[in-house]
């Protein structure tokens, strides 16, 4: 799939050596077309765990890490139609194996051999069936993210069976979405921004940690490169103590940031978030660490966040992610889905943004090297806009042979 031009998988006009071969006639013409509109009969669910060494250790406010990880989910229906999803598992890195086993040992037995009218029905069934497990284990997050990964794969299948790209199947009017470059801590920010500007990117998110002076020192030289007509954002991963944030937050206002992301942890009391919003003219952003509709409804009602960033691979998938996205847009907040993940999570987030009705949203685009993601997408995806095209489902054909180098046994 070309995120620049939206070519259908296997389209020779893409000029991309990674394009998948055309689907077999019985699968593309007979299986998919025959199954359009029919219930989803699930044949198999397979987690695919990927890990790629970074070559060095990188520290952030959460922990130190030395690898990229991604957990993909491959689902087949009774006709052999293939769907792909992704499960959030960034931290801790050993969560990759844990969540893969949740997919394989908890959720796959629940849905394999069963038939659902829609992906939303399957999502509701998985959520209801795991309610006690989420409570008893104290792990609502890992279970919810595993459900989200399967949900994305089922939507991919549904789109393929209907012959429609997901953005259109979900009610979107256009398959084009804006992106912003998200620069990881393992990347040199100056170099990444300069290369991004050369490619035409007009929005960049930096990451920094430490004192307010450290944040200012990280942003000021980048602002000098970009000028004032480029959107610049800062993510501090909830690293500020509440008192420091309240005392010093206004010092960032002169930087003209499009948003400041999670100045304090997501579970900080609502009153503190309200005081932070009142203490600055810089819009506050958050949402990637909220799980469940109640948490987002409370955030919307509070009004402290001007930018909402739910991650569909962490909670909700497309079944719960779409109604949430539309509530965010209807509230007048900016909807910019968090998508610091692999290829499937990125593309699913782009489809969701395209279907949300947002006029000013952007999808997060990690611009650092991520071999497992880049083995799925072609080399032209780092562009100012994603053109999702009209290929059915997610529009991705995954060549599993390209992922074999990164597979990890779980």
Q: What is the pLDDT along the chain (410 residues), one digit of tens a residue?
A: 444 433 333 332 233 323 332 233 333 333 334 345 689 999 999 999 999 888 788 887 787 777 889 999 999 999 999 999 999 999 898 999 999 999 999 999 999 999 999 999 999 999 999 999 999 999 999 999 999 999 999 999 999 999 999 999 999 999 999 999 999 887 899 999 999 999 999 999 999 988 889 999 999 999 999 999 999 999 999 999 999 999 999 999 999 999 999 999 999 999 999 999 999 999 999 999 999 999 999 999 999 999 999 999 999 999 999 999 999 999 999 999 999 888 999 999 999 999 999 999 999 999 888 888 888 887 667 789 999 999 999 999 999 999 999 999 98
- Domain extent, residue 265, equals 167-401
Question: Is 408 a domain residue?
Answer: no
Q: Which of 209, 107, 189, 181 is nearest to 149 (CA)?
A: 107
Do 32 and 50 lie in a common domain? yes
Answer yes or no: are the C-beta atoms of 182 and 338 closer than 8 Å.
no
Torsion of CA 285, 290, 295, 301, to 10 degrees: 0
Q: What is the pLDDT of residue 379?
A: 60
Beta-carbon count within 10 A of 132 CB: 9
Which residue pairs from 107-115 have beta carbons closer than 8 angstroms and sit at least 24 positions apart in sequence?
107/45, 107/146, 107/147, 107/150, 108/44, 108/45, 108/46, 111/42, 111/45, 111/150, 112/42, 112/43, 112/44, 112/45, 113/42, 113/43, 114/41, 114/42, 115/39, 115/40, 115/41, 115/42
Report which DSSP code applies to 246.
H
Q: Which of 284, 196, 304 is nearest to 238 (CA)?
A: 284
Do 173 and 160 lie in a common domain? no
Do 342 and 363 lie in a common domain? yes
Question: Is 409 a domain residue?
Answer: no
Residue 65, domain CATH: 3.30.390.10
Q: How many residues does the structure list for the chain?
A: 410
Q: What is the pLDDT of residue 58?
A: 82
- Give every CB contact of residue 213 below 8 A, 6+ residues apart in sequence: none
Rounded-to-integer distance, Cα 285 and Cα 238, Å: 11
Q: What is the pLDDT of residue 375?
A: 84
Indicate the pairing of strand 334-335 with strand 307-308.
parallel
Report angle CA 75, 80, 84 to the nearest 5 degrees.
Answer: 30
Question: Is 343 a domain residue?
Answer: yes
Do 207 and 173 lie in a common domain? yes
Indicate the pairing of strand 64-77 with strand 259-261.
unpaired
Q: Which of 164, 197, 223 is the last residue of a domain?
A: 164
| Half-sphere exposure for 188 (CA within 13 Å, toward CB) | 4
Q: What is the pLDDT of residue 362?
A: 98
Indicate the pairing of strand 284-286 with strand 307-308.
parallel
Answer yes or no: are the C-beta atoms of 148 and 137 closer than 8 Å.
no
10 Å CB burial of residue 360 (0-12, 13-18, 19+) is: exposed
Do 280 and 365 lie in a common domain? yes
Q: What is the pLDDT of residue 253?
A: 96
Q: Which sign, positive or negative, has the C-alpha torsion 96, 100, 103, 105?
A: negative
Q: Which of 164, 185, 214 is the last residue of a domain?
A: 164
Do 127 and 187 lie in a common domain? no
Three-state DSSP state, 204? strand
Answer yes or no: are the C-beta atoms of 181 and 203 closer than 8 Å.
yes
Tell me: cis bond preceding 8? Omega within 30 of 0 counts: no
Domains of the chain: total: 2
Question: Is 187 a domain residue?
Answer: yes
Do 212 and 331 lie in a common domain? yes
Rounded to 10°, the helix 317-330/343-356 angle is: 40
Q: What is the pLDDT of residue 36?
A: 54
Alpha-carbon distances of 378 from 19, 71, 107, 383, rounded to whole Å:
8, 19, 31, 12
Q: What is the pLDDT of residue 11?
A: 32
Q: Which sign, positive or negative, has the C-alpha torsion 128, 132, 134, 135?
A: positive
Question: Is 146 a domain residue?
Answer: yes
Question: Is 407 a domain residue?
Answer: no
């Amino acid at each position: 799939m070309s995120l620049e031009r939206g070519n259908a998988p296997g389209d020779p006009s893409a000029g991309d050596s990674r394009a998948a071969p055309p689907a077999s006639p019985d699968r593309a013409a007979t299986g998919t077309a025959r199954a359009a509109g029919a219930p989803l009969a699930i044949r198999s669910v397979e987690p695919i765990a990927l890990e790629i060494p970074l070559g060095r250790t990188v520290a952030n406010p959460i922990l130190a890490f030395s690898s990229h990880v991604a957990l993909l989910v491959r689902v087949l229906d009774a006709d052999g139609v293939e769907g792909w999803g992704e499960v959030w598992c960034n931290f801790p890195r050993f969560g990759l194996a844990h969540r893969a086993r949740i997919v394989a040992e908890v959720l796959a037995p629940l849905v394999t051999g069963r038939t659902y009218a829609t992906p939303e029905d399957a999502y509701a069934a998985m959520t209801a069936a795991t309610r006690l497990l989420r409570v008893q284990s104290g792990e609502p997050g890992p279970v919810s993210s595993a459900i989200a990964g399967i949900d994305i794969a089922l939507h991919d299948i549904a789109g393929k069976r209907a012959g429609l790209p997901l953005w259109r199947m979900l009610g979107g009017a256009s398959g084009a979405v804006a992106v912003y470059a998200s620069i990881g801590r393992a990347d040199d920010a100056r170099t990444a921004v300069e290369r991004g500007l050369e490619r035409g990117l007009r929005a960049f998110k930096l990451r920094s940690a430490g004192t307010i002076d450290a944040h200012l020192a990280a942003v000021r030289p980048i602002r000098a490169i970009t000028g004032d007509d480029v959107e610049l954002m800062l993510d501090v991963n909830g690293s500020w103590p509440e008192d420091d944030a309240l005392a010093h937050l206004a010092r960032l206002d002169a930087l003209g940031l499009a948003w400041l992301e999670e100045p304090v942890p997501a579970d900080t009391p609502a009153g503190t978030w309200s005081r932070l919003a009142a203490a600055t003219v810089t819009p506050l952003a958050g949402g990637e660490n909220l799980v469940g509709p109640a948490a987002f409804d409370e955030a919307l009602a509070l009004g402290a966040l001007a930018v909402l960033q739910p991650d569909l691979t962490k909670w909700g998938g497309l079944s719960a992610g779409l109604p949430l996205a539309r509530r965010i847009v209807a509230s007048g907040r900016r909807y910019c889905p968090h998508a610091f993940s692999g290829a499937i999570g990125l593309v699913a987030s782009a489809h969701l943004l395209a279907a949300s009705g947002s006029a000013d949203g952007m999808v997060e685009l990690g611009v650092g090297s991520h071999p497992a993601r880049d083995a799925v997408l072609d080399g032209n995806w780092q562009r100012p806009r994603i053109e999702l095209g009209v290929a059915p489902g997610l529009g991705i054909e995954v060549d599993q042979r390209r992922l074999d180098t990164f597979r990890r046994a779980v």
